[in-house]
Amino acid sequence: MIIIRNLVKTFGAVRAVDDVSLDVPKGSVTVILGPSGSGKSTVLRCINHLEEPTNGEIIVDGLRMTKDSKSINAIRAEVGMVFQQFNLFPHMTALQNIMLAQRVVRKRSQAEVRDIALQQLARVGIPEKADSFPNQLSGGQQQRVAIARALAMHPKIMLFDEPTSALDPEMIKEVLDVMLELVASGMTMVCVTHEMGFARNAASDIVFMDHGKIIERSAPAEFFASPREERSRAFLRQILH
């Protein structure tokens, strides 16, 4: 579904992503782990071209990413993204947030757009919040609206960029539950997260990154029980105490 070949991204003199190659098969859940600054978010952001790769090749659903804005927008419509800071549009209600891109990007009819928006809001468990503005919602509810907004586009792939990192602890579970439901539905997902429980239970692949490089890629059972690389072991020791 996603093929990344020799991806390099530099910010000035810093090589944030240094020659990363990665395949994400259809229906798989890839969880990228790593210390902060390891380039994991940058890889994610290169997939839908929020960051322009310095070098390398990214193929999403058979389409090669080029610099042409039309083709980038076409690919972005197929790739949903959820951000750490939710990034809901503050001047719109939850429902309007979910309806906007469907209408202007997918060009669906108003009635269809509304139906889908209500459906997705019910799917993430807060149908009663349709007419609430983002600042009237808790962090967990905002993030669930953000997930519904991405899902309403009927994307083929979902990218999660630390979706629970900005949440109060008691709200993390409600967002993870929505993500687990997505995993069960067979969605192709790439997640950057620090939720080890989610990684262990939901991932089909764990990718461990450090200093812009992929250090290890294994199945979750193997990664958490007996990581191959010393750096993975050091990372796990720190995370799991």
Partner 1 sequence: MNRPSQPSVAPALSQRLANAPWWLLVLILIGLFAVFQILTNERSTTIFNAISRGVIVTVRTTLIAYVVALVIGLAVGLARTSSNKLIYNVASFYVEVVRGIPMLVLLLYIAFVAVPLAMDGLNRLGVVLGSAWLSALTPRNFPNEWRVVVGLGVAYGAFESENFRAGIQSIERGQFEAARALGMSYFQTMRFVVLPQVIRRILPTLGNDFISMLKDSSLVSVLGVEDITQITKLYASSTFLFFQAYSILAFIYLTMTVLLSRLVRWMELRLARGRR
Q: Which of 25, 55, 57, 89 binds partner 1 (CB under 8 A)?
A: 89
Q: Is 100 in the site for partner 1 (CB under 8 A)?
A: yes
Identity of the residue, 41 or 232, whose beta carbon is nearer to partner 1 in the bound complex: 41
Identity of the residue, 79 or 192, whose beta carbon is nearer to partner 1 in the bound complex: 79
Token pair listed for 117: 């928006």
Q: Is 50 in the site for partner 1 (CB under 8 A)?
A: yes
**Which stretches does DSSP call E strand in the chain?**
2-11, 14-24, 29-33, 55-60, 63-64, 79-82, 157-161, 188-192, 205-210, 213-218
As a dihedral over the C-alpha atoms of residue 229, residue 222, residue 204, residue 87, rounded to 10 degrees, the angle is -50
42 close to 159: Cβ distance less than 8 angstroms? no
Q: Segment near partner 1 (CB under 8 A), from 14-22, 57-65, 142-150, 206-214?
A: 142-150
Identity of the residue, 18 or 61, whose beta carbon is nearer to partner 1 in the bound complex: 61
Quick count: other Cβ atoms within 10 Å of Cβ 218?
19
Measure the CA–CA gap between 22 and 24, rounded to whole angstroms: 7
Contact flags string 153-172 toward partner 1, x per CB under 8 A: x-------------------
Residues contributing to the site for partner 1 (CB under 8 A): 48, 50, 69, 73-74, 76-81, 83, 85, 87-91, 100-101, 104-105, 133, 135, 146, 149-150, 153
